[in-house]
Amino acid sequence: MTSKALQSFLDENIADLKERGLYNEIDPVQGPNGPIITINGKELINLSSNNYLGLATDERLKKVAKEAVDSHGVGAGAVRTINGTLDLHLELEKKLAEFKGTEAVISFQSGFNCNMAAISAVMDKNDAILSDQLNHASIIDGCRLSKAKIIPFGHSDMDDLRKKAKEAVESGNYNKIMVITDGVFSMDGDVAKLPEIVEVAEEFDLITYVDDAHGSGVLGKGAGTVKHFGLQDKIDFQMGTLSKAIGVVGGYVAGKADLIDWLKVRSRPFLFSTAVTPADAVAATKAVELLMESTELNERLWENSNYLKEGLKNLGFDIGESETPITPCIIGDEKDTQKFSKKLNEAGVYAKSIVFPTVPRGTGRVRNMPSAAHTKEMLDDAIAIYKKVGKEMGLI
């Protein structure tokens, strides 16, 4: 029997979310998550996937994944520290270290797990973390788990960062201080000011941590935001995901060998959660190899991104200050945003509405994620649909 208190809580709060246009409905995809997806039997141009390079459906990755099932089974069978570390995991980590230009890498089950694992393994209640106000939820939760003092600084505000770093150091209250930022901010598509962050970090001896979930495979000709700025030897933690541009699932932290060694003995998701499957490990390795061999997919991604941006901007949509393929159409009102997304869907484009609490109230947007797999014809069709729906709703 359900608790009356629980039922009351659920009824009141779900109704409240629906009333305010904040209730998120999940749309199951029937079949592969490619440039065209099928939802409820209808084909739609897909502009909501993180599958930047189209690798989630790449035949080369599918082939090696199938072979890994035959050679190693469907599951790793244990946590990494018992006997769940397969040779395939080690091959993945070696390839990632080469890709990121670091001494070593540790891989995890997801990007979210990386941030929960790595931050709390190094920072504790005697430390402080300077965190960009727009950092991803997994960074926020990782910081909370560490029990360190969290000191937010204004988004990409280097004066505020320097001021708060100076105050934290001069207070003498903390053993260690970390500065942590997304490399690419997932809702607006802007890029962290890493050179300036490194300057502040060197001035005040801060530990540096970059979550490059949306930068890996995208910036630095695919090697990421840190490589884009040539700062591989200046960043202590390079966190990345295998679930977006890489097209599979999982995450990793790249850095000095002794840091990675410490994470292997002290990061809780590594110690207490079963390792990723053999198929995932080998498919991710193959994806990284493809990126190291050729920049073709990366170049196609940027070409498509620039094409879509130009098309939407010319129509009069507010696409913010994005510097990456992430292309928001900022509508503002939450209900209008959800209505716009629904009408796009009905017309043939799947572009999901993003509202509070993922973004601040009053900044609702439809976020577009063009990929290397889209054709110009698909993007032309999408732009035409945006024009039609935008005019219908009086948005352009």
Q: Judge whether 244 counts as a catalytic residue.
A: yes
Look at residues 371, 368, 361, 360 and name the one whose alpha carbon lies nearest to residue 340.
Answer: 368
Q: Judge whether 214 counts as a catalytic residue.
A: yes
Question: In which region does residue 370 sit, left (phi positive, over 0), alpha (psi from -120 to 50) or beta (all else)?
Answer: beta
Q: Is 156 helix (H, G, I), strand (E, B) or coil?
A: coil
Q: And the tokens for 353?
A: 């509405």
> Are 328 and 367 within 8 A, CB to CB?
yes
205's enclosing H/E stretch is none
Catalytic residue among 120, 131, 138, 186: 186
Look at residues 111, 25, 34 and name the one whose alpha carbon lies nearest to residue 370.
Answer: 34
Q: Judge whether 353 counts as a catalytic residue.
A: no
Catalytic residue among 89, 164, 244, 374: 244
Rounded Cα gap, residues 257 and 83, in angstroms: 21
Cα 374 versus chain centre, distance: 20
Which DSSP letter does residue 48 get? Answer: S
Catalytic residue among 214, 227, 286, 374: 214
Rounded Cα gap, residues 328 and 386, in angstroms: 13
State the catalytic residues. 186, 214, 244
